[in-house]
Each structure stands twice: as C-alpha cells, then as structure tokens.
C-alpha cells in the first residue's frame, strides 16, 4: 500500500509569512524555511517581530482569510486523493491553516500549535514533536506503507530522505544545490508524473 506526503506552504498554498510581510510592510516576515534551516531560530525571530510591531494572531488570520491555494493545487490534490491516501505534513500551525484546508477539501493535516494569551498575542509555539515530518514518514513505513513525499524547503529534506521516494517541487536553486539526490519538478503535472512513476517502480 502506498501513501503520498506533501508539504503545504510553497507546495499547495503560498507562503503565509511572505504574504503577511507584504501586507504589513515588515520585510523580516518574508524570511522562511527556504532561507533558514534552523526552524526554532526562524520562529524566535518571527515572535520577536510580532512583539516589536504589536501584531496579534488576529492580524495574521485576517491575512490568511484573504489567501487561497496556488493555481491548480486543488485539482492536483483531488487527483492524488482519488488514487492515493494523502497526508499534508507541515510546519505551519492549526491556528493558521483552517481557511486554507477548507479550500483544499480538508485533507489530513499534521502540524503544530501556537501559544496565544487572552489578548490574542502569540507568546510561543509548541511543536507537535521534533522533526515531525520525518517521524510521520517513518511511522507510516512502520505500518507497512510505501511513502512518496514532496516538498520545497530545508525543513522538508528529512521527510524526503525518510521516504521511499522523495521529490522537490519548485525549490530554490540554493536548496537544490545542497540536496542533488532529490529529483526536481517544476509543475503539478511534472510532480504527478513523478509520483505515479515512483509508485509503479515501488510496486515492482
């Protein structure tokens, strides 16, 4: 049996923090896991920026409500789900994701949570578990599934390494250069074909 694991931001939906940066005019929020491989360092940087600019969870959620999936993402995901079980493995937060999950047909999402005080100020973040994408892939393999995975950033590479087959989709060239072992796809059509080819090869 085979499952597909996909990253969310940069793969199916635009990067939330980049859009938040554009809307607020705070350039620092545009820094993402494509730029910073240390997720804790990145999140501490974001939390400091939120505090500095007195921005709350509601400010982020207001931006997310105006966002939608990337062009063709819903159709791509619907096609995959018709033929495979699909898990979205993301380092986003449940407090962010609901409007986007609704537009994607509510696929199964595994991500993290924010710690928010009574005034709506984001005080901290809580990982569901460390390196959760790799752990999820290994758990699925332990249940006798063959896993095919795709992502675009540093924080996806553990998942891609653990999977039976792993692919990049429109990653930055700086990451491609560091991880040349993962085939690169540049469109949903290319990724769909790569997944199907890998699935066939794994079935033998």
Predicted confidence (pLDDT) per residue in 159-199, tens digit = 999 999 999 999 999 999 999 999 999 999 999 999 999 99
Confidence grade of residue 34 (pLDDT, cut at 50, 70, 90)? confident
What are the C-alpha distances in Å from 120 to residues 57, 116, 123? 6, 6, 9
- For the question of residue 79 being annotated catalytic, the response is no
- CATH architecture assignment, domain 2-13+71-113+129-203: 3-Layer(aba) Sandwich (3.40)
Q: Which of 9, 19, 152, 156 is catalytic?
A: 9
Query: What does the pLDDT average to over 71-88?
Result: 98
Q: CA-CA distance, 6 to 24, in Å (whole number)?
A: 29
Q: What is the mean pLDDT of the chain?
A: 96
- For the question of residue 91 being annotated catalytic, the response is no
Look at strands 146-151 and 122-126 and give their pairing. unpaired
Answer for the pair 113, 125: CB distance below 8 angstroms, yes or no: yes
Confidence grade of residue 9 (pLDDT, cut at 50, 70, 90)? very high
DSSP 123: E
Q: CA-CA distance, 184 to 176, in Å (whole number)?
A: 8
Q: Does position 204 have pLDDT exceeding 90, yes or no?
A: no
Query: What does the pLDDT average to over 88-108?
Result: 96
Q: Is 20 exposed, middle or buried (0-12, 13-18, 19+ CB in 10 A)?
A: buried
pLDDT of residue 183: 98
Q: Is 155 exposed, middle or buried (0-12, 13-18, 19+ CB in 10 A)?
A: buried
The values of phi and psi at residue 127, to 5°, are -65, 140
Confidence grade of residue 110 (pLDDT, cut at 50, 70, 90)? very high
Query: What does the pLDDT average to over 44-70?
Result: 96
Q: Does position 92 have pLDDT exceeding 90, yes or no?
A: yes
pTM above 0.85, yes or no: yes
The values of phi and psi at residue 202, to 5°, are -70, -30
Q: Which of 7, 19, 91, 95 is catalytic?
A: 7
């Amino acid at each position: 049996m085979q499952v597909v694991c996909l990253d969310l931001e940069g793969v199916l939906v635009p990067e939330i923090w980049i859009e938040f940066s554009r809307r607020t005019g705070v350039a620092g929020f545009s820094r993402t896991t494509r730029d910073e491989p240390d997720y804790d360092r990145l999140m501490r940087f974001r939390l400091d920026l939120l505090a500095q600019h007195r921005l709350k969870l509601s400010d982020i959620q207001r931006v997310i409500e105006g966002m939608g999936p990337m062009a063709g993402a819903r159709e791509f995901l619907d096609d995959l789900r018709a033929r495979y079980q699909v898990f979205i493995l993301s380092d986003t937060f449940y407090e962010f994701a609901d409007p986007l999950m609704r537009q994607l047909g509510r696929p199964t999402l595994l991500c993290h949570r924010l710690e928010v005080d009574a005034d709506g100020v984001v005080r901290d973040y809580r990982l569901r578990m460390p390196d959760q994408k790799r752990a999820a892939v290994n758990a699925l393999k332990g249940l006798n599934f063959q896993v095919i995975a795709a992502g675009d950033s540093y924080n996806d590479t553990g998942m891609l390494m653990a999977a039976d087959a792993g692919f990049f989709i429109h990653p930055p060239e700086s990451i491609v250069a560091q991880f040349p072992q993962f085939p690169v796809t540049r469109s949903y059509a290319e990724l769909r074909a790569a997944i199907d080819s890998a699935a066939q090869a794994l079935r033998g």
